[in-house]
Amino acid sequence: MTTIRQISGDGDLTDAFAVRHDVFIEEQGVDTGEEFDGKDESATHFVSYLENEPVGTLRVRFPDAAVAKVERVAVVKRYRRQGFGQQLMEAAEAHASEQPCQQVLLHAQTAVEAFYERLGYETVSDVFDEAGIPHVKMRKQLQSCGENC
């Protein structure tokens, strides 16, 4: 059975951090200090579980009133391509839709750009380096937000 838990930044983030450590630090070689950037306390985190095992995570921050920024999207390698990433993104978008303006931004690794395109995101930048990995900036309008977005 799959469940997704929403955790505030001051909650128990052990499972979210474990998934991020496995994916970003161990698998992709991201520096620990860069991965754990001090912004977790100001974010809302989502963790996906299969039975009681954490298999994926992401965080959502609101850098300003008009924008939700999805960050640190990670699914443990052996659980990829099973729908966990899409479920996490749907949870993040539902959370963002509760805010006054519904634009979601993210920095996607180019290796998974097509995944986000399938979810309705559009690429709005050239390729740039982030943590030694090629990324692009992507955006999705969840609904019309007038002149505030």
Residue 149 lies in a domain: no
Decide if pLDDT at 134 tops 90.
yes
Tokens of 13: 């983030």
pLDDT of residue 147: 46
Q: Over the chain, what HEC string results?
A: CEEEEEEECCCCCHHHHHHHHHHHHHHCCCCHHHHCCCCHHHCEEEEEEECCEEEEEEEEEEEECCEEEEEEEEECHHHCCCCHHHHHHHHHHHHHHCCCCCEEEEEEEHHHHHHHHHCCCEECCCCEEECCEEEEEEEEECCCCHHHC
Q: Is residue 109 part of a domain?
A: yes
Is 145's pLDDT higher than 50?
no
Task: Evaluate if residue 148 carries a pLDDT over 80.
Answer: no
Report the run of H or E that residue 87 belongs to, with start and end. helix 84-97
In whole angstroms, what is the distance from residue 37 CA to residue 56 CA?
19
Give the range of the structural domain holding residue 81, as residue numbers without chain letter: 2-144
Q: How many structural domains compose the chain?
A: 1
pTM attached to this predicted model: 0.91
Q: Would 119 be classed as within a structural domain?
A: yes
What does the mean pLDDT of the chain come to? 91
Q: Return the CATH number at 115.
A: 3.40.630.30
How much is the pLDDT for 102? 73
What is the tens place of the pLDDT at every residue in 79-114?
A: 999 999 999 999 999 999 888 767 999 999 999 999
Question: pLDDT tens digits for 50-75?
Answer: 999 999 999 999 988 789 999 999 99
Confirm whether 80 is domain-assigned.
yes
72 domain-assigned: yes
pLDDT at 149: 47
Residue type, 50: L
